[in-house]
Structure 1
Amino acid sequence: MRKLTVLLLLIITSIQLAPGQGLYSPGSPQDDGRFAASTKQVNQFFRRFNGEESADGKKRYYDTDAQFRDRELRGKFISVLFDNETSSVENSLKSEFLKDVLSENLPQYLNFHKGEWFAEVQTTFIFKGKKEEVTLFMKLQPEGLGYEWVVDKINFKPFKNLFNKPEGDAKGFLHPLSHEIGFMNLRKAFQENDKPESYTPKEYQPDYLTIFLYEMKNGNLKFDNISDVKFHFFQINNWYFELNQFNRPGFNTGWLISNLVKLDAGDKDVVQKYIYDQK
């Protein structure tokens, strides 16, 4: 039941609703134009979330600066790092999130190189002459003296049903005494059965990324375009949030938190599976 609840929360909070109120009442820091300026870059989102930038965005703070990671500064910044116009994240949930992040005893920060966050890139490829949507899941990995983005997983509809292993009586199998005949029945199995995955272990999972790269190397897949980019964060203990870019008039624009879910034990796997398999 808990898994179903988390999944429903993820779906519901992704639906765009009418403009809502922010965390604070009129006259509070949310209405201060200094804190409402567009967060134009993802790196700037990190700095503002951590309180590593001045209120007007003109100065970056370092650990030698008095305002570096100031708790009050962070609270004001984070309150305007939410999509307060179209998302349905409840104010009570935002407040709970802020309380955890700004804890005086154990404050939490985002770390660009820490992992536990990844990009979801919506693209189109030409597959065998037809334009198809492909979702690339990208992650950072160490490389030499720095880091690089790499494709970690893909979601590609034409591959989804390639390895649907039959079950029950419909599943082909090799007799447990097949070894006594030198596995000669493999010839019949592979010649008369168009589901070779029937003869794989129960835990077998196809590697779609390898197939994707193979088709690309064979010239069957050609890159076409990028249509959207978003980010998924699991760095804050017991929380998940989604980061999207909003290009619109007003102050509540740029890279903003559009989805927020509190996680209990086991919920992280449920949310990740939904993200990877939603197409």
Structure 2
Amino acid sequence: MIRILFLNIFLCVTLYLPAQIVQEDGSSRDESELYASTKQVNQFFRRFNGEEDQKGKRFYESDKSFRSSTLREDYISLLFDRQNRNLSNEQKRKFISDVTDKTNPQFLNFRQDGWFAEVNAVFTRNGKEENILLFFKIQEEREGYEWVLEQVSSAHYQQFFNKSKSEEKAFLHPMSHELDFMNLHKSLKQKNAVDFTSDEFKVDPLSIFLYEMASKSIQFKTVTTSRFHFFQCEGWYFQIAEYNRKGYNSGWLISDLTPVQKEDVTKLKAFIYEAK
């Protein structure tokens, strides 16, 4: 049942992805040059990698233009959200230069680790709607691949796992074992149980979510938005989101871009997971 739910979520997310193209100088091209818009995330991959022409015709390894650095420079410059002032031209140029470098080009790979999906989904709890962020990654399955749920983020869960301030934190006396832990009754009744966990305790929202789905405490309703996070380009993190607006600069575009050191990837990923 849960696997069917996740499949339905991604069918909702990936099958309606409109986008078009604009030149870097802001001028529009003839419509014939914009025949193939970036309607799907897969097309974003191909355009980023230089694996199709302006009309959407696929290039293959035997084609002269396959993954051409010049072609990629043109395409990638069109894949940014031009209305986002946080994306500086200098930063975009540096990124494009790095990923299209002829001696060490970098490409996106749908089947490899280093990218994941963030889906904002609506569930109902006791008749009230609640937003929960679902994070999926691609995983190899037999002879193919599938999306699997990696983590969730929920403000509802987090409110129950805030430990008390250090000076107020409850604790079990170190001699509690001599009393057969009979003081547990009073402690757990009056105090926040999370105070009694170890310093290494980490909340696992995914397990809570799976339990609530299995026990029907919450019910899936719909998907509102989705975005994708990429760490596949060495030295960089970027995010793509869907922009449904008039004009050619719409559809799946790079909405966030930042240089990142390899040792900071884990921290940044954890920060994304904890966003509410």
Same fold (TM over 0.5): yes
Q: Bigger CA drift: 204-213 or 266-275?
A: 266-275
Gaps of at least 5 residues in structure 1 are 1-21
- 2:146 aligned counterpart, secondary structure: strand
Shift of 1:76: 1.1
Indicate which of 260, 263, 268 corresponds to 1:271: 268
Indicate which of 120, 123, 131 corresponds to 1:122: 120
CA distance in 2, matches of 1:89, 1:31: 23
**1:212 lines up with 2:209 in the alignment:** yes
CA distance in 1, matches of 2:239, 2:113: 15
* 2:122–2:132 Cα contact (<8 Å) kept: yes
Shift of 1:35: 6.2
Distance 1:206 1:125, change over 3 A: same
Deviation by residue 1:223-256 (Cα, 9 ceiling, x = unmatched): 1111111111111111111101122333222211
Distance 1:201 1:26, change over 3 A: closer
- 1:137 aligned counterpart, secondary structure: strand
Counterpart of 2:48, as a letter, is F
- 1:228 aligned counterpart, secondary structure: strand
CA distance in 1, matches of 2:126, 2:114: 35
Deviation by residue 1:162-221 (Cα, 9 ceiling, x = unmatched): 11122334222222233344434334433x334122221111012111112212222220
* 1:23–1:95 Cα contact (<8 Å) kept: no
CA distance in 1, matches of 2:48, 2:79: 8
- 1:149 aligned counterpart, secondary structure: strand
Counterpart of 1:253, as a letter, is S
Distance 1:32 1:267, change over 3 A: farther
CA distance in 2, matches of 1:37, 1:80: 13
* 1:241–1:258 Cα contact (<8 Å) kept: yes
CA distance in 2, matches of 1:93, 1:50: 19
Q: Name the residue aligned to 1:103.
A: 101
Distance 1:52 1:265, change over 3 A: closer
Counterpart of 1:186, as a letter, is L
- 1:170 aligned counterpart, secondary structure: coil
Within a 5 Å distance, the mapping from 1:1-279 to structure 2 comes to: 24-25=24-25, 31=29, 34=33, 37-57=36-56, 59-190=57-188, 192-264=189-261, 266-279=263-276
CA distance in 1, matches of 2:210, 2:163: 23
Distance 1:145 1:79, change over 3 A: same
CA distance in 2, matches of 1:215, 1:198: 23
TM-score of the superposition, structure 1-length normalised?
0.82
Residue correspondences, number: 254
TM-score of the superposition, structure 2-length normalised?
0.83
CA distance in 2, matches of 1:23, 1:145: 40
- 1:151 aligned counterpart, secondary structure: strand
Counterpart of 2:50, as a letter, is G
* 1:36–1:252 Cα contact (<8 Å) kept: no
Counterpart of 2:68, as a letter, is D
CA distance in 1, matches of 2:164, 2:233: 40
* 1:113–1:140 Cα contact (<8 Å) kept: yes
Gaps of at least 5 residues in structure 2 are 1-21
